[in-house]
Amino acid sequence: MLKVVKFGGSSMADAGQYRKIRDIILDDPARQVVVVSAAGKRFSDDHKITDLLYLCHAHSQYGVDCNRVFDMIKSRYQEIRADLGITVEIDDELDALKRRLDKKAISQDELASRGEYFSAKLMAAYLGFKFVDSADWVFFKMDGTVDKEKSYAALKELAAGESVVIPGFYGKMPDGNIKTFTRGGSDITGALAAAALDADIYENWTDVSGILMADPRIVENPETIPEVTYDELRELSYSGAQVLHEGTIFPVREKSIPLNIRNTNAPADAGTMIKEGFDTPVNPDRFITGITGKKNFSIISISKRGLSNEVGTLRKILTVLERHNISVDYVPNGIDNVSVVLETDALTPNLYDVLQEIQAEVNPDTVDVHDQIAVVAAVGRHMAGRPGISGKLFAALGEAGINIRMINQGPDELNIIFGVSNDDFAQAIRVLYNSFAK
């Protein structure tokens, strides 16, 4: 049995958190591969080390000294080391890093990656595990994607039969330069390590006890989702839930490795289990897995008499949007009307060009733009094939006086998506949660 365990920034924030991690590791001998983030915030006004590193790089680019910021980074790691009473040499490396920074001789990616690097050095010393540098096994291709075959083979060799600590977030380009993933990318490193080593499970330890059924800023004390499928998670994240870095699922899913989100501060909680599928539902009466959504969409509504008999109109509309590099989220349509739903921020800079081009190419009777639209998604694998679900949802929303502006359901029946006015967004989520998720 092998478990790859990844600890996020808040789990690495100070020596107290390191101690919790050690207890978690000691609790289960299968937890042999540990992937770590840079130190995160210890309290709400605190700074993440990664943010400070980016800040330092920006300073150096403008020729402004960043001594104070760099000292904050340095002392953070030195404090953790002192508190844990371990001896591991990081001072010379930190000083060398500062010299390179002062000479503008370090790339932004390499500097940003050092947060994870020093975290892993300290954690390896503290646990007595071997340090495996991600520059020695996460290999990027020239196009910026990970060369999985080469990377997996390298990690297999480096970690064979040993307990290791690995820094998240970065790897090496073919030219030898360090490259980071996008922010939050240590999740991906953990997923790659799990896939490389054919782990039995990938545990992603954070500061919440799993994925919540709804945004806690909207719903008071929402329940945790005990089990969610990869497909549902994709829907939930796409529609707004902030869970894992979006590149995380792919490597583990390819190898059918379950992913378990756990809480470093509440290790007894089971968290959320993410898998391809589950045998029996935890709660057979519950058909909604989670409710999420996003505000600030626009609907462009195009009407033309006889539109339904025309060929190619939709393509023309989508081509206009493609030309402006605007991604379309939903395309609800009527008989002689078709609408496109897209993010307002993406549309605004090109709004008049887009409208004028649609006018010229489609020659519609009317084109209207509706702003301030929120999209809400009720996601759940148990909705499929069960008649009456959408009736129940919309009845509850109707009773609460919420006007539905758009409805969308895919044939896989994994979600029901609808548009409401921004003002009704929070209320719509609360109504669904209180009616069906509790």
Interface contacts to ligand ASP, rule CB under 6 A: 8-9, 37-38, 48, 50, 115, 168-169, 183-187
Q: Which is nearer to ligand ASP, 12 or 428 (CB)?
A: 12
Which CB, 166 or 347, lies closer to ligand ASP? 166
Which among 296, 408, 297, 303 has a CA at the least distance from the CA of 358?
Answer: 303
Which residues, listed in sequence order, are joined to residue 292 by a DSSP beta bridge? 377
Q: Which of 420, 426, 415, 369 is nearest to 389 (CA)?
A: 415
Shortest reach from residue 181's CB to ligand ASP, in Å: 7
The whole-angstrom separation of Cα 382 and Cα 388 is 12
Which CB, 168 or 210, lies closer to ligand ASP? 168
User: Shortest approach of ligand ASP to residue 122 CB, angstroms?
Assistant: 15
Q: Which of 258, 190, 188 is nearest to 226 (CA)?
A: 258
- Give the shortest CB-179-to-ligand ASP separation in angstroms: 13
Q: Which is nearer to ligand ASP, 126 or 169 (CB)?
A: 169
- Between 9 and 258, whose beta carbon lies closer to ligand ASP? 9
**Residue 42 or 370 with smaller CB distance to ligand ASP:** 42
Min separation Cβ 36 and ligand ASP, Å: 9
d(CA 47, CA 69): 10
Please report how close the Cβ of residue 169 comes to ligand ASP at its closest, in angstroms.
4
Least separation in angstroms between residue 171's CB and ligand ASP is 13
Crossing angle for the helix pair 15-26 and 108-127, to the nearest 10 degrees: 60
Which two tokens mark 49?
């080390």
- CB nearer ligand ASP, residue 76 or residue 381: 76
Neighbours of 128 (CB within 10 A): 10
CA torsion angle 20 25 26 32 (round to 10): -160
* CB-based burial, 364-382: b 16+ in 10 Å, e otherwise: beebeebeebbbbbbbbbb
User: For residue 58, how many other CB atoms are within 10 A of its CB?
Assistant: 13
Cβ neighbours of residue 17 closer than 8 Å, sequence gap 6 or more: 10, 11, 264
Shortest Cβ distance from residue 119 to ligand ASP (Å)? 9
Per DSSP, 137 falls in state T
With a CB cutoff of 8 Å and minimum separation 6, the contacts of 25 are 5, 31, 34, 127
In the bound state with ligand ASP, the residue whose beta carbon lies nearer, of 108 and 337, is: 108
Length of the chain: 438
Helix (H) or strand (E) holding 202: strand 201-206
In the complex, minimum distance from the CB of residue 243 to ligand ASP, in angstroms, rounded to a whole number: 13
Q: In 10 A of CB 121, how many CB atoms?
A: 22
Q: Would you say 9 or 222 has its CB closer to ligand ASP? A: 9
Query: Considering the complex, what minimum distance in angstroms separates the CB of residue 43 from ligand ASP?
Result: 17
When the beta carbons of 259 and 358 are compared against ligand ASP, the nearer one is 259
Q: Shortest Cβ contact with ligand ASP: which residue?
A: 186
End-to-end CA distance of the chain: 35
Least Å distance, CB 166 to ligand ASP, is 13
Among residues 173, 191, 167, the alpha carbon closest in space to that of 114 is found at: 167
Three-state DSSP at 238 gives helix
Supply the minimum distance, in Å, between the C-beta of residue 180 and ligand ASP.
8
Residue closer to ligand ASP, measured from CB, 185 or 222: 185
